[in-house]
């Protein structure tokens, strides 16, 4: 029978072993990511059965933004809108208790803009900024 429970200090060694075997995100996660950090509340759980832990789950308050451009070729207006919109999104996200904003794109120019101009960090095809 499956069960989900809160992550405890006793789970750290099992989590460390799981992170060492992680084939999907090698080297990306550390134990500290599963604990609260300044301005980044985290809730962590363990999904397990009678054989022990199956998965270690980390919950964050993340705001994911999706956008459709009125005119994708209007680079100047779109760039101004991104800068303005992300500033407003950060303010709104912070006021609502979110800790990060995520934008997903496969468009190379937008990706470069998000990292170079906005200062977002790339992570698995997503672009993340802490609020």
Question: Of the residues 60, 76, 92, which one is the last residue of a structural domain?
Answer: 60
Q: What percent of the chain stands above pLDDT 90?
A: 57
Cα(5)–Cα(85) distance, rounded to whole angstroms? 38
Is the domain of 114 the same as that of 67? yes
Residue 28's pLDDT is what?
82
Is the domain of 56 the same as that of 12? yes
Is the domain of 68 the same as that of 114? yes
Cα(41)–Cα(59) distance, rounded to whole angstroms? 9
Q: Which domain, by its residues, includes 125?
A: 62-130
Give the pLDDT confidence of 1-58 residue by residue, as tens digits. Answer: 999 999 999 999 999 999 999 988 788 889 998 998 776 778 899 999 999 999 999 8
Local structure of 47: helix, strand or coil:
strand
Is the domain of 67 the same as that of 125? yes
Count of H-run helices and E-run strands, the chain: 3, 7
Question: Of the residues 60, 88, 107, which one is the last residue of a structural domain?
Answer: 60
Average pLDDT, rounded, for the chain: 90
Is the domain of 67 the same as that of 56? no
User: How confident is residue 119, by pLDDT bands cut at 50, 70 and 90?
Assistant: very high
Quick one: 96 exposed, middle or buried, by C-beta within 10 A (0-12, 13-18, 19+)?
A: exposed
Domain tally, the chain: 2
Q: Which residue's entry shows tokens 């363990």? A: 46
Average pLDDT rounded to a whole number, residues 80-92: 92
Is the domain of 47 the same as that of 87? no
């Amino acid at each position: 029978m499956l069960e989900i429970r809160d992550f405890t200090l006793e789970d750290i060694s099992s989590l460390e072993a799981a992170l060492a075997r992680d084939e999907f995100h090698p080297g990306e996660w550390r134990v500290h990511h599963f604990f609260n950090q300044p301005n980044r509340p985290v809730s962590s759980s363990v999904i397990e059965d009678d054989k022990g832990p199956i998965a270690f789950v980390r919950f964050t308050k993340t705001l994911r933004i999706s956008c459709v451009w009125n005119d994708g070729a209007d680079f100047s207006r779109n760039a101004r809108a991104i800068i303005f919109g992300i500033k407003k999104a950060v303010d709104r996200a912070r006021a609502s208790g979110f800790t990060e904003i995520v934008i997903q794109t496969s468009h190379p120019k937008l990706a470069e803009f998000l990292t170079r101009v906005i200062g977002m960090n790339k992570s698995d095809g997503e672009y993340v900024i802490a609020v």
